[in-house]
Structure 1
Amino acid sequence: MSDIQTSTVSDEGFATTSQVGGFDLQIDALDEEGPNPNATLVATYASCFLPAFRVGGQKTGFDDLGKIQIDADADLDESDDLTEIRFDVYVEADLSDEEFAAIADLAEDICHVHTALRDDLRADVTVVGDAF
């Protein structure tokens, strides 16, 4: 039994609807009916990193960081593959650069998406024809 199960469907074209738990997620390679997969990955990474940053703050004795905002930027190569992701993390709390660096280091260890972005994690693909 898997820990996570999703189902992604496209009846035609490049737009997909993924069922994730009780939620529908629209993703479109052409950015017409939803964000593209790369943009979704960057947003998912930031959405994971932000709560991990809060937990990192708690682990270093800063329980109230206040409002946190992550502005993410990413670069693509000529094949539209992600080559670089950058986060600008804005925090309401006023801490030193060293304290923020310690929290960010912990957040990298805590964030599951950060951990998943590695070369050896790839989908094991099986294709079944005449399925519908």
Structure 2
Amino acid sequence: MSDIETSTVSEEGFASTSQVGDFELTIDATDEQGPNPNAALVATYASCYLPAFRVGGQQRGHDDLGKIQIDADADLDDDDDLEAIRFDVYVEADVDDEELAEIVERAKDICHVQSALREGLRAEIAAHGDAF
């Protein structure tokens, strides 16, 4: 038995709808009916890294980091494959740069998407405390 099961359907064109448990997700290579697969992957990566960052903070004694926002950007190569990903992590709590660097590294170890991506496609991460 699998741990994760999804079903993805495309009736026509380049959009597809995936059923993931009780949720539907539309991905569209043309960006018309939903985000394209590369954009969805970057968003999924950030959505995985953010809770990993919170857990990393808790493990470093920061139980309340407050609001956290990740602004992600990515570069594509000539074949439209993801080539580079960057995260700017903004944290409401006043956390010094050394502690932020420790949390960044711990979150990298925790994030499952980080583990699943090829070595050359890991996000470059800058974290900013006391950001809001």
> Does 1 or 2 have the higher relative contact order (CA < 8 Å, sep 6+)?
2
Structure 2 residue runs without a partner (length 5+): 120-132
Correspondence for 2:53: 53
The letter of the residue matching 1:108 is K
SS at match of 2:56: helix
Q: Deviations over 1:68-106 (max 9, x none)?
A: 000000000111100000000000011111100000000
Structure 1 residue runs without a partner (length 5+): 120-132
Q: C-alpha separation between the residues in 2 aligned to 1:6 and 1:82? A: 23
SS at match of 2:102: helix
Structure 1 residue 64: Cα displacement: 0.5
> Matched residue pairs, number?
119
Q: C-alpha separation between the residues in 2 aligned to 1:118 and 1:85? A: 12
Structure 1 residue 23: Cα displacement: 0.4
Structure 1 residue 34: Cα displacement: 0.3
Q: C-alpha separation between the residues in 2 aligned to 1:86 and 1:79? A: 19
Correspondence for 1:130: none
RMSD over aligned CA atoms reads 0.7
Correspondence for 1:13: 13
Task: Pick the structure with greater CA Rg.
Answer: 1
The letter of the residue matching 2:61 is G
TM superposition outliers: structure 1 runs of 4+ over 2 Å: none
Please give the residue correspondences for 1:1-132 in structure 2 after superposition, counting only pairs within 5 Å: 1-118=1-118
Identity fraction in percent: 76
Question: TM-score of the superposition, structure 2-length normalised?
Answer: 0.89
